[in-house]
Amino acid sequence: MELVASNKVVGGWHKRYRHASKITHCDMTFAIFLPETVNTGNKVPVLYWLSGLTCTDENFMQKAGAFKLANELGVAIVAPDTSPRGEDVADDPKGNYDFGLGAGFYVNATMPPYKAHYQMYDYITLELPKLIQAHFPVTTQQAISGHSMGGHGALIIGMRNSQKYSSISAFSPICHPMQCPWGIKAFTGYLGIDSTQWQQYDATALMLNQQFDSQVPILIDQGDADNFLDEQLQPWHLQKAAEQISYPLTLNMREGYDHSYFFISSFIDEHLRFHALHF
């Protein structure tokens, strides 16, 4: 791994690394926050944060304001990029923001030319955790969270890998991507037109079909002034599915909040405490 940047913050350290990925077949960048307790030889649990469309590892780390409480709780935070990058990595032919670079949707693409690099599901669930556990003072305890497209990723990855994650949370997640424009475009491009292949990456479908080994608790915060709420996010589908099978899901609708990191920074402490409770 190549150390790209290092900053001391609230007694701990924020560091960025670049490494050659065997799964995405390109260089990948991730950031990690290590609380100061690791300086005394302690190992800490890890919260993985998945960001949304157009984002990189930097958005959450610079805007969420999560470090102070994470340091107090003794929790590491890992923020990967949202897609593979590089000159050889295929992008949206029209250069749109909602597909291609910065928009990996945390799936394993099966359609050319995207299948060569867009294997974000395996990168997040297999390669990155092994890398983190091999090089940093962390335990095997993991939780996962994210925002928007990253909220979608956190939901599907956490539910499908319930033996690996003790809790799941999300801000403004895409809850039923098979039924919204962002999801339909991404799934068609990455996975093809057979919608039966889409279900494994749809949180509501996973919930309805009970495609998980155990019920990992889920916390969702959603702003009611979010301009993507009705067309793209649609959390009521997931909430209804959870109610049908008595799944432990909490959905908080927050009055007046939008889709931005102003919203995330307002409630990130509640999410950190939620995950710390389940470690």
Residues involved in catalysis:
148, 226, 259
3-class secondary-structure state, position 132: helix
Sequence-distant (6+) residues with CB within 8 A of 200 are: 156, 160, 206, 211
Q: Beta-carbon neighbour count of residue 254 at 10 Å?
A: 17
Q: In angstroms, rounded to a whole number, what is the distance separating the alpha carbons of residues 27 and 16? A: 13
Written as one letter, the residue type at 240 is K
Q: In angstroms, rounded to a whole number, what is the distance separating the alpha carbons of residues 243 and 203? A: 14
Please report where in the chains the tokens 């509640």 appear, as a residue. 270
Sequence-distant (6+) residues with CB within 8 A of 52 are: 82, 146, 147, 148, 149, 150, 151
Q: In angstroms, rounded to a whole number, what is the distance separating the alpha carbons of residues 184 and 186? A: 6
Q: In angstroms, rounded to a whole number, what is the distance separating the alpha carbons of residues 260 and 223? A: 9
3-class secondary-structure state, position 54: coil
Sequence-distant (6+) residues with CB within 8 A of 103 are: 53, 54, 82, 83, 92, 97, 149, 186
243: left (phi over 0), alpha (psi -120 to 50) or beta: alpha
